[in-house]
Amino acid sequence: MKNQITNAISDFFFEYETPRQVLVRNRRVGVVCRLIQLGVLAYIIGWVFIYEKGYQSTDTAVSSVFTKMKGVGYTNVNGSERVWDVADYVFPPQGDSSFVVMTNYIITEGQKMGKCPELKGKQNCNSDADCEGGSFKRTGHGQMTGVCVKNTTTCEVLAWCPVEDDHNIPDPPLLMSAENYTLFIKNSVTFPLFGVTRSNLVEGIDADYISSCLHDPKKAPLCPIFRLGDIVKLSGFSFETIARVGGAIGIVVDWTCNLDVDVKHCKPQYNFHGLYGNPAETDKARASVGYNFRYAKHYMEDKIQKRTLMKVFGIRFDIIVQSLARKFDIIPTLTAIGSGVGIFGVATVVCDLVLLYLLPKREFYKNMKFKYTDTQTQDPDSEAGSTETEASKK
């Protein structure tokens, strides 16, 4: 028993096994094998290394976005003139990556808390019995008092009076001048894995250039100042259409960088996508079209609290930063090569199947490839006995 264990340990450490190989001279099998190997080689070189960049490690960026709007608008509604600046038409005003530019509005001035008839179509009635006192309607403006106002045939409500009438949206939009507003985007990205920080104000973008440039996909693709009308056009929308009822546009800042070359070649690309707000097409069938919200400005008049209600229609801009940086790394390179070498084994498997199961001489090839032994008739000590006998004779 001790000798068997010693022999087993000795064989494990001091013997080497190699698979038996058979050289088959067959044109069909040889061509199939080489074609498969060429296909695998093309996959490794073309797909893994060239297309997927399997020799590089990747990292995504940590980014920040700062925006600034410029431009002045003018309206004249029923003889009331007004100039609108950035503080009036941008929400929120902090310069976030997601903001709204007002392009149209409905204003209800001088509202105060009191009792007044509900808007037509919100809660119609023929008698007081149709108006349940103390109840609310989801689309109404306030709490019903239980009184039916005869001259309007609507229920009386406790609300901010007079109630807002938003049935008629101004057309054309009141702030069509927003088409000429400009948007400045300042974006910085950091790839922490590679320790690289970049800004969209790349080499050559200085104060003099910014003061005179305007973004154009062909002539000035790196200019960070955008005209709103151009953004809407590049997103596939009509400015007058989207300005009337509002919508949403996505501005994608794409940082796809190969850091194996000089870092100055890492530059952003700007893409524009219309996300929502094209009522001229399929949006007509939808229940809600466009983008709008309300806000109120409260004030005191003769010791009575009043407010001016604004229903704002605008274009929402969402600035989205996409990033992917690549750089050579020996670990993914060796991993890609190792997996490719492993795939080469497919050729051996396919050729073995052809040899052993499809060719006319498959039995001959089986006998050449496999060595058969009969374990029932073989004496396990015969080899050792013959060795010992030959040693004693010597």
Distances in Å between the Cα of 7 and the Cα atoms of 1, 11, 13, 382 are 10, 6, 10, 17
62 Cβ contact list (under 8 Å, min separation 6):
189, 190, 192
Smallest Cα–Cα separation from 101: which of 201, 208, 251?
A: 251
176 a known binding residue?
Answer: no
Query: Which tokens belong to 64?
Result: 């920040």
Round to whole Å and give the CA distance between 40 and 47: 10
SS3 state at 204: coil
293 a known binding residue?
Answer: yes
264 a known binding residue?
Answer: no
69 a known binding residue?
Answer: yes
> What are 187-190's contacts with CB under 8 Å, separation 24+?
187/63, 187/64, 187/65, 187/66, 187/224, 187/253, 187/268, 187/319, 187/321, 188/63, 188/64, 189/61, 189/62, 189/63, 189/255, 189/321, 189/323, 190/61, 190/62, 190/63
Asked if 190 and 239 count as a contact pair (C-beta separation under 8 A), the reply is: no
182 a known binding residue?
Answer: yes
294 a known binding residue?
Answer: yes
306 a known binding residue?
Answer: no
The four Cα atoms 327, 273, 101, 294 give a dihedral, to 10 degrees, of: -110
DSSP 8-state secondary structure symbol assigned to residue 376: T
144 a known binding residue?
Answer: no
* Binding site members: 68-70, 182, 292-294, 311
Q: Which residues are annotated as a binding site for ATP?
A: 68-70, 182, 292-294, 311
